[in-house]
Amino acid sequence: MTFNKLQKGFTILELVIIVGILCFVGVAILPTLNLPEKFKERRDSQRIKDLNNLKEAVDKALSDEKLLSGTRAFPFSGNSSGSNLIFDADRNWTGVELEGYIGWLPTDPSQGKIKGEIINGNGEKLELSKVTLSLPDGCKKAFSYCFVSDGTNYQIGAFLEAAKNFPLIQEIYNPNESIMYSVGNTNELF
């Protein structure tokens, strides 16, 4: 008696081999994707876009003879320019009246939730908790936007975290300590 059995599907051995090959390929490819760095690049890209939008709004406001006030940062709570200022997302943290120039005031994409490393102007990684530079108090908070003004000039800055962005960081202090990307009508206030 002959049974004519049609084979449909894969055997267990074939499935195990296929899964093993897929796992091997996945393990080989995944490190080359460098996903954490891609997330850093995306957040940095948003930071740069936000700062450029803010600069454009402040420049328009200044061309309409709006006034600059002292240093601001968001999120920030502390003493700045001789006055005690506490800022939250509902208030204008730049100190320039921007209503009509920008629809909303952006905040850092990580909203201060990232603590770790930042990069300096030489592309070296620095532990943010160990960085002790003469920045305004609000600017020392990890990953917040900082607005600094002397009443005539202004600078808006942000920490960047992706290694590929180190050439964008302006050398504000000196080449070894420059850690903030900034825009504005000067680069001498930080």
Q: What is the pLDDT along the chain (190 residues), one digit of tens a residue?
A: 566 666 677 889 999 999 999 999 988 888 888 888 888 889 889 988 988 988 898 888 888 877 766 545 444 333 333 332 233 333 455 666 777 777 777 777 776 555 556 665 566 666 655 554 445 555 655 567 777 777 778 888 887 778 787 777 755 444 455 567 888 888 777 6
The C-alpha angle with vertex 109 and arms to 139 and 100, in degrees rounded to 5, equals 80
Tokens 């002959």 belong to residue? 2
Q: How far, in Å, are 20, 58, 77, 177 from residue 130 at the CA level?
A: 44, 32, 20, 12
Q: What is the pTM of this model?
A: 0.64
Residue 189 lies in a domain: no
50 lies in some domain: yes
Our count of domains for the chain comes to 1
154-159 and 145-149 strand pairing:
antiparallel
Residue 18 resides in a domain: no
Beta-bridged to residue 127, according to DSSP, are: 117
User: Cα torsion for 22, 27, 29, 32, to the nearest 10°?
Assistant: 170
Residue 157, in any domain of the structure = yes
20: in domain = no
Q: 95: domain range?
A: 38-184
What values do phi and psi take at 35, rounded to 5?
Answer: -60, -40
